[in-house]
């Protein structure tokens, strides 16, 4: 005999666990199915093992979607403070980490991300929800209710929630399951792309980055009219660091990125002020950048004269190179290195209040599988909790 539940949730990650807790709390019979032997693996590895579980200032503006309004309802119904209250209630100590003087609000566990997983599991189980791991779903049909054939047994449910996440980090079990189910039920998808991902360069730009591998510089990075101020990091493949990860979510193949390497300074004014003695560009730059960078920068943009001999147009050119260093990445490092997937279930297909499909009654999509992608900094977990909450209140 197939076992019957009110709600089956597929994927025991952040969104699935939270939705299971909320639905079980309302007295629904809930089964959470996970194909991996372990649940919440991305929570475990997140934030360097300390889980940046929310951002105090999460707003709809911090999310990328074809419909930027879609996330508003969920985010306003479940705010960072709602999640913080749960974390406090469970005695989990946390702190705000100011990763950059202009970037605030990232909350991390003091101890370990495992505490967040344990809290979520406890909330599901205390409310009577069941969790089944190591269970592969073979097929889903919907003659009336949903019928799931799995490696474990057959299950029936009235509400089915897909919380299988995005495609990033395939070696941790990321799958296209959510997109396949969408396709099966005729639900549109915005083409998924790796996001929050390092960018690759080639040719002389790659050589430049490789020679500087490990060097990081506080910069403003701009692409397609969006900019982020944080560190960039030169790597063996190109560029990484928080400012690059952020901008990668707005970058498409073929686009240029522009880097202001000295956002605190007006380089032209600095150079003009040094035109009275025998100052050289290298002397000015060595006060502002790591030594290794100065040498390679001057190989790339040589300046033979002392500054006093430079014409205004030459100084302007030097300043422009530093304020608008332009590169065209050849590609991103792909899903293997991406923190998230942008794109996913087209939000036009879903109710923004409940996350239910407009076409298929009882079918819900939550978390990263939906075309809502947060910035770096705790925003993606906040979306997982908020969208899990929205569905959990209705399933
Ligand atoms: C290295 C790294 C660090 C990160 N750090 C942070 C951070 O500090 N803060 C932040 O906000 N975000 C962070 N993120 C992003 C964040 O982890 C995700 O956005 C978030 O986990 C998405 O939640 P989700 O529940 O939608 O998907 P996931 O957490 O990916 O969960 C999906 C679950 O579904 C399961 N699944 C997949 N297919 C099937 C199937 N066919 N059957 C059953 N189960 C299935 C998966 O095994 C997984 O357990 C990080 C991501 C990475 C990769």
Beta carbon of 12 within 6 Å of any ligand 1 atom: yes
User: SS3 letters for 247-260?
Assistant: HHCCCCCCCCEEEE
> Running DSSP on this structure, what letter comes out for residue 56?
T
- Location of each CATH 3.50.50.60 domain in the chain: 3-194+339-392
Beta carbon of 168 within 6 Å of any ligand 1 atom: yes
In order of 4, 240, 391, the CA distances from 129 in angstroms are: 13, 41, 15
pLDDT at 220: 98
Beta carbon of 13 within 6 Å of any ligand 1 atom: yes
Superfamily of domain 3-194+339-392, CATH level 4: FAD/NAD(P)-binding domain (3.50.50.60)
Beta carbon of 8 within 6 Å of any ligand 1 atom: no
Reading the block at residue 252, the tokens are 């498409």
Chosen CATH of 203-332 out of 2.40.30.10, 3.20.20.70, 3.30.360.10, 2.40.160.150: 2.40.30.10
pLDDT at 102: 72
In order of 3, 134, 319, 388, the CA distances from 29 in angstroms are: 11, 20, 64, 16
pLDDT at 98: 76
Beta carbon of 51 within 6 Å of any ligand 1 atom: yes
Beta carbon of 308 within 6 Å of any ligand 1 atom: no
Residue 307 has phi, psi (to 5 degrees) of: -60, -35
Q: Is the whole-model pTM more than 0.95?
A: yes
Query: If you measure from the C-alpha of residue 15 to the centroid of ligand 1, how many angstroms do you get, rounded to a whole number?
Result: 8
pLDDT at 317: 96
Query: If you measure from the C-alpha of residue 306 to the centroid of ligand 1, how many angstroms do you get, rounded to a whole number?
Result: 54
pLDDT at 304: 86
Q: Where are the alpha helices (DSSP H) in the chain?
A: 14-25, 41-45, 71-77, 80-89, 114-126, 177-184, 203-211, 242-248, 267-273, 281-286, 291-300, 312-323, 379-392
Pocket test for ligand 1, best of 13, 133, 340 (most atoms within 8 A of CB): 13
What ligand 1 atom has the least distance to the C-alpha of 379? 11
Beta carbon of 178 within 6 Å of any ligand 1 atom: no
pLDDT at 173: 83
- Digit-coded pLDDT (tens) for 50-81: 999 999 999 999 999 999 999 999 999 999 99
Beta carbon of 33 within 6 Å of any ligand 1 atom: yes
Which residues of the chain register pLDDT less than 50?
none
By C-alpha distance, which of 363, 383, 354 is closest to 141? 363
Beta carbon of 242 within 6 Å of any ligand 1 atom: no
Query: If you measure from the C-alpha of residue 28 to the centroid of ligand 1, how many angstroms do you get, rounded to a whole number?
Result: 24
Query: In this structure, are residues 142 and 159 in contact, taking their beta carbons and an 8 Å threshold?
Result: no
Query: If you measure from the C-alpha of residue 222 to the centroid of ligand 1, how many angstroms do you get, rounded to a whole number?
Result: 28
- Location of each CATH 2.40.30.10 domain in the chain: 203-332
């Amino acid at each position: 005999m197939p076992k019957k539940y009110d709600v089956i949730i597929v994927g025991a990650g952040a969104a699935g666990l939270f939705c299971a807790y909320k639905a079980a709390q309302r007295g629904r019979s809930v089964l959470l199915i996970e194909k991996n032997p372990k649940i919440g693996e991305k929570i475990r590895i997140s934030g360097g093992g300390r889980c940046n579980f929310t951002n105090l200032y999460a707003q709809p503006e911090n999310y990328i979607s074809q419909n930027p309004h879609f996330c508003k309802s969920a985010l306003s119904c479940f705010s960072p403070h709602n999640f913080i209250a749960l974390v406090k209630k469970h005695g989990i100590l946390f702190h705000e980490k100011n990763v950059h003087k202009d970037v605030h609000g990232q909350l991390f566990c003091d101890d370990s991300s495992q505490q967040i997983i344990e809290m979520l599991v406890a909330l599901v189980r205390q409310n009577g929800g069941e969790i089944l791991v190591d269970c592969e779903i073979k097929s889903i049909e919907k003659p009336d209710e949903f019928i799931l054939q799995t490696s474990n047994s057959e299950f029936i449910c009235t509400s089915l929630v897909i919380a299988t996440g995005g495609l990033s980090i395939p070696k941790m079990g990321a799958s296209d399951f959510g997109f396949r189910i969408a396709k099966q039920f005729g639900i549109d998808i915005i083409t998924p792309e790796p996001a929050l991902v390092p960018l690759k360069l080639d040719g002389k730009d790659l050589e430049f980055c490789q020679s500087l591998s490990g060097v990081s510089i506080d910069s403003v990075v701009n692409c397609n009219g969006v900019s982020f101020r944080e560190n960039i990091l030169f790597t063996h493949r190109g560029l990484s660091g928080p400012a690059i990860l952020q901008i990668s979510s707005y970058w498409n193949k073929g686009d240029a990125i522009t880097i202001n390497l000295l956002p605190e300074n007006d380089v032209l004014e600095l150079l003009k002020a040094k035109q009275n003695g025998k100052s050289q560009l290298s002397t000015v730059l060595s006060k502002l950048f790591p030594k290794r960078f100065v040498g390679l920068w001057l190989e790339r943009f040589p300046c033979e004269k002392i500054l006093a001999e430079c014409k205004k147009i030459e100084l302007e050119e030097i300043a422009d190179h530093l304020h608008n260093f332009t590169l065209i990445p050849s590609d991103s490092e792909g899903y293997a290195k991406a923190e998230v997937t942008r794109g996913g279930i087209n939000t036009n297909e879903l109710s923004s209040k409940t996350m239910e499909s407009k076409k298929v009654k009882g079918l819900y999509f939550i978390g990263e599988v939906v075309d809502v992608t947060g910035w770096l900094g705790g925003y993606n977990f906040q979306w997982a909790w908020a969208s899990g909450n929205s569905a959990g209140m209705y399933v």
